[in-house]
Amino acid sequence: MGARRPTPYGEAVAERLATDLAHAGVAVVSGLAVGVDAAAHEGALIGEGCTIAVLGTGVDVVYPAANTDLAARIVAGGGALVSQFPDGTGPKRDHFPRRNWTMAALADLVVVVEASEGSGALITAEAGLAQGQAVMAVPGSVFSPLSVGCHQLLRDGAGLVQNARDVLGELNGLTAVLDDPLTPPDRLAVEGEAPRGRDGLLRHLSDAYPVEPGDLARRLGLAFPDVVARLTRLELEGKARRMGAGYLRVRGRGMT
């Protein structure tokens, strides 16, 4: 689990971890929210594994509606939508923390990908701890507010996740550590919202993980030339910069 508005780094990590774990036969449980949840479900589907979405609504109500197609593919892929709420229940604010508790209960182990301080993902992690499950976290950029929650968990003794084998080792009680870097997905399967306004694209850039314009175009449903023009404009304004074939977000002030 993790942020609903993660950085591209968070989405990439969630998707790749889920893919690798699904390949290894692990069922991926998440909450069908946008962001890290959706990336985890998509990743599990790419890995042709079983993935379970725990809903905060009735199983016949998909919230948010943007994930309707994803929900259908989860079921078609042999996974399940589960809910503790009766059919027809719409989204209610106080249902989601209860759903998080259920999600933690269904899992053997909780992995947090990106979480800001005091976010819902941290609540789920606490629920997992309270129920005796292992909690692990993926580190992030120290520049990013979305890393704070994960880094707090790590300081408090959560397991460090660098790759799927770290998670498998914890599940199987192994202690050997492999420090291989995680392979980023070639392109993210999760779809983003179309950017609004002048800086709209900036939200889809990371300061840690270069995003290629072609991937952005596909995910956001924009034309490739349009994305290149928008990125160059951000570059001109000192808000983005090139790295290899992709673009990074530039934090704070200053130019390349």
Partner 1 sequence: MLPRLPGVVARVLSCLLRGLEGRLVEIQVDISSGPVGFALVGLASGSVREAKERVRSAIHNSGLPFPSQRKLTVNLAPAELRKDGSGLDLAIGVGISLAALGLPSPSSTAFLGELALDGAVRHVDGVLVAARGLIRHGVGALFVPEADAAEAALAGGLRVYPCPSLSTAMAHLTGDTLLDPYSGRAPAPAAADTNTEYDLAEVQGQDSARRALEVAASGGHNLLMYGPPGAGKTMLARTLPGLLPPLELQEALELAQIRSVLGDLTAGRPLDWVRPFRAPHHSVSLAGLIGGGSGLATPGEISRAHHGVLFLDELAEFRAATLQALRQPMEQGHIVITRRGGSVVYPARFQLVAATNPCPCGWEGDSQRSCRCTPASVEAYQRTLSGPLLDRIDLQVVVARTPMDVLGREAVGESSAAVRARVVAARQLQIDRQGTLNAGMRAPQLRRWAPLDATALSALRRWAGQRGLSARGFHRAWRVARTIAGLDTGGSVREHHVMEALGYRLVERAA
Using CB under 8 A as the criterion, which residues of the chain lie in contact with partner 1 when the complex forms?
181, 183-184, 186-187, 210, 212-214, 217, 224-226, 228-233, 236, 242-246, 255-256
Nearest alpha carbon to residue 172 among 109, 128, 113, 107: 109
Q: How far is the CB of 15 from partner 1 (least distance, A)?
A: 12
Which one, 181 or 197, has the nearer CB to partner 1?
181
What is the pairing mode between strands 159-160 and 109-112? Answer: unpaired
Q: How far is the CB of 48 from partner 1 (least distance, A)?
A: 12
Which one, 7 or 83, has the nearer CB to partner 1?
7
- Under 8 Å between Cβ of 102 and 127: no
Separation between Cα atoms, residue 119 and residue 102, nearest integer Å: 17
Q: How far is the CB of 120 from partner 1 (least distance, A)?
A: 31
Q: How far is the CB of 138 from partner 1 (least distance, A)?
A: 17
* Complete DSSP assignment for 75-101: HHTT-EEEESS-TT----TTHHHHHHH
* Beta bridge partners of residue 247, listed in sequence order: 211, 242
Separation between Cα atoms, residue 48 and residue 21, nearest integer Å: 10
Which one, 128 or 185, has the nearer CB to partner 1?
185
228-232 LR contacts (CB < 8 Å, sep 24+)? 230/195, 230/200, 230/201, 231/201
Which one, 120 or 246, has the nearer CB to partner 1?
246
Which one, 33 or 44, has the nearer CB to partner 1?
44
* Complete DSSP assignment for 220-247: HT--HHHHHHHHHHHHHTTSEEEETTEE
Which one, 143 or 224, has the nearer CB to partner 1?
224
Q: How far is the CB of 58 from partner 1 (least distance, A)?
A: 36
Nearest alpha carbon to residue 64 among 32, 97, 103, 25: 32
Q: How far is the CB of 243 from partner 1 (least distance, A)?
A: 7
